[in-house]
Amino acid sequence: MDTNKLLYALFITALGMVIVFALLMLLRYIIELMRVIFEHKNKKEKDHAVIEVLAHTPMPLESEQKKADMDDNELVVVLTAAVMACLGGRNDIVVRSITRVGDSTPVWAKTGRHEQMLGRL
Amino acid sequence: MSMVDELLKFFYSMGFTAITWQQGIMIVLSCFLIYLALKKGFEPLLLVPIAFGMLLTNLPLAGMMREPVYEMVMEAGKEVKILVDPGGLLHWLYQGIKLGIYPPLIFFGVGAMTDFGPLIANPKSILLGAAAQIGIFMTFIGAMLIDKFIPFISFTIEEAASIGIIGGADGPTAIFLTSKLAPHLIGPIAVAAYSYMALVPLIQPPIMKALTTQKEREVVMEQLRPVSKTEKIIFPVLVTIVVSFVLPSAATLVGMLMLGNLIRESVELQSILNRLSKTAQNDLTNIVVVFLGITVGATAEGEVFLRPQTIAIIVLGLIAFSFGTAGGVLLGKVMHRLSGGKVNPLIGSAGVSAVPMAARVAQKVGQEANPNNYLLMHAMGPNVAGVIGSAVAAGVLLSMLGK
């Protein structure tokens, strides 16, 4: 094989990696930009969002995800609403305290769960 | 004609009188592959049709891959083409590969099955999907240099590129590119690509462990942010436009992948799309997998397959996978340093696509180091980015080497 061909292959390699990286970098910034735009919008609609969560409570997961950026009062409201929804819409519930329970699962139980999950993966 | 002649004629029309040694070996090999698929569970969905295709194409005198035969006849002063032999069934099914139809259809189904959420939530992980493509290009160079080490094997630049794409760990992409650049190698390349994808859980962990420290593997990553539906719907449209504007040759694969994904993500807005989404995910993909598998297997005709080149392709494919994994993990290490220890470098290995097997491997190796570590969703980001990455790499090779 002549050297020219090898040089051409090296050229393709260099250019190929540059294009792959550049294009995916571009996509990365576009995704970041998209996030900035939508986070901005979401902030405006945040007050509405909490009320909406209250209105459609059968999705406790969503309220959990929002936990991080809510203050404690909002958290109490959301958790209360979730409990109410689970109990079939009863409104005679008063939440007195919410305590975070430490991770008390024994290692063997965790291992068992991992194995089960891996078995399904 | 006497009865003896009749009997002799029948005797010579039987398969075993015409079998070549290559066909014999290929038939045994295909039976072994069927055994691996059924008994050992090696990608049975693909390996059963591929292995059976191999069996069919190597049946002596059956001619399932034979081309149609036309005869030119003069009729009323004009030349007319008359079909003498319509050709074998597999020849016609093979047109879907030759013309590059099946792989994009598979991508359509893959798009409908893929959740790009983890990638949108952590856009940095897209770089890991790019780094893992280094395996493609390293193997490309390796295939070009092979005649320096083994004098009787050499590859042209188009063949080398097709071998390199095995490192993309993406069956449809490998078949798509090979069908355009070096169609005679589809058999060995597809077999190598799909075999290594089945072997990802064996190939990757040693490399991942060799390149990372115990401490790095133990890193637990922050939970991903939730991704809004709007972002998920805009993403496929944006990616299609951006990628195709920069690299038109990648439009076929990326476009079909993203169309599938758009339909999947729009189901909540227009529930009628659920029908298309389900068809893309199940029925259509299954049908195409059967056609694709059987015809990929059918390209492995003994005379073509049993050559030293095939062994070289299979060895180079392993190198491609290993370099891809290493590239991803090494960039993962860089990101680990730059982020102040927030990124677990193991997720880089998932950048070789092979969805979702490579992400599962990252999850498993991470959990071996730290039982409280759940890397699966974090690894899905680079994993799906790897699909886009290898389609882009294929686009680059196609635009530079394609005719």
List of chain A residues whose C-beta atoms are within 8 Å of the C-beta of residue B366: none
Whole-angstrom Cα distance, residue B142 to residue B323? 11
Which residue in the set B144, B157, B246 is minimally distant from A23, CB to CB? B246
B152 and chain A in contact, CB less than 8 A: no
A105 and chain B in contact, CB less than 8 A: no
Same domain? A49 vs A2: yes
Boundary residue ending a domain (A15, A36, A56): A56
Within a domain: A61? no
Judging by beta carbons within 10 Å of its beta carbon (0-12, 13-18, 19+), is residue B16 exposed, middle or buried?
Answer: exposed
Closest alpha carbon to B43 in B188, B204, B198 = B198
- Express each pLDDT in B26-72 by its tens digit: 999 999 999 998 998 888 888 899 999 999 999 999 889 999 999 88
Report ipTM for this prediction: 0.88
Q: Do A35 and B238 touch (CB under 8 A)?
A: no
Within a domain: A106? yes
- Express each pLDDT in B363-389 by its tens digit: 999 999 998 889 999 999 999 999 999
* pLDDT range class, residue B118, cuts 50, 70, 90: very high
Q: Do B137 and A26 touch (CB under 8 A)?
A: no
Within a domain: B396? yes
Closest alpha carbon to B324 in B122, B186, B166 = B166
Q: Do B396 and A27 touch (CB under 8 A)?
A: no
Boundary residue ending a domain (A11, A26, A56): A56
* Cα distances (angstroms) measured from residue B160 to each of A15, B121, B221, B354: 16, 36, 38, 21
- Express each pLDDT in B306-334 by its tens digit: 999 999 999 999 999 999 999 999 999 99
Same domain? A71 vs A92: yes
Within a domain: A62? no
| Cβ atoms within 10 Å, residue B314 | 17
Res B199: pLDDT = 86
Residue B361 amino acid letter:
V
* pLDDT range class, residue A90, cuts 50, 70, 90: low
Burial B128-159 (b: 16+ CB within 10 A, else e): bbbbbbbbbbbbbbbbbebeeeeeeebbebbb
Whole-angstrom Cα distance, residue B302 to residue B384? 36
Q: Is the pLDDT of residue A62 over 90?
A: no
Structurally, how many domains does chain B consist of? 1
List of chain B residues whose C-beta atoms are within 8 Å of the C-beta of residue A20: 130, 133, 389, 392-393, 396
Q: Give the domain range for residue B145.
A: 100-401
In sequence order, the 6+-apart residues with CB closer than 8 A to the CB of B80 are B72, B73, B74
pTM comes to 0.81
Q: Do B127 and A118 touch (CB under 8 A)?
A: no
Three-state SS at A120: helix
Same domain? A49 vs A1: yes
Res B226: pLDDT = 86
Which residue in the set A9, A19, A32 is minimally distant from B141, CB to CB? A9
Same domain? A49 vs A81: no
A6 and chain B in contact, CB less than 8 A: yes
- Express each pLDDT in B172-207 by its tens digit: 999 999 999 999 999 899 888 888 888 899 999 999
Q: Do A31 and B120 touch (CB under 8 A)?
A: yes
Q: Do A23 and B124 touch (CB under 8 A)?
A: no
Residue pair B110/B257 in contact by the 8 Å Cβ criterion: yes
Res B206: pLDDT = 95
- Express each pLDDT in B221-264 by its tens digit: 988 888 889 999 999 999 999 999 999 999 999 999 999 999 99
Q: What is the mean pLDDT of chain B?
A: 92
Structurally, how many domains does chain A consist of? 2
Q: Give the domain range for residue A13.
A: 1-56
Question: Tokens 């297997």 belong to which residue?
Answer: B297
B334 and chain A in contact, CB less than 8 A: no
Among all residues of chain A, which has the CA nearest to that of B235? A31
* pLDDT range class, residue A45, cuts 50, 70, 90: low
B289 and chain A in contact, CB less than 8 A: no
| Cβ atoms within 10 Å, residue A116 | 10
Count chain A–chain B contacts defined by CB atoms under 8 A. Answer: 112
Residue B125 amino acid letter:
S
Within a domain: B357? yes
Which residue in the set A6, A65, A121 is minimally distant from B226, CB to CB? A65
Burial B184-202 (b: 16+ CB within 10 A, else e): ebbbbbbbbbbbbbbbbee
Beta bridge partners of B85: B69
Q: What is the largest CA-CA distance in chain A?
A: 85
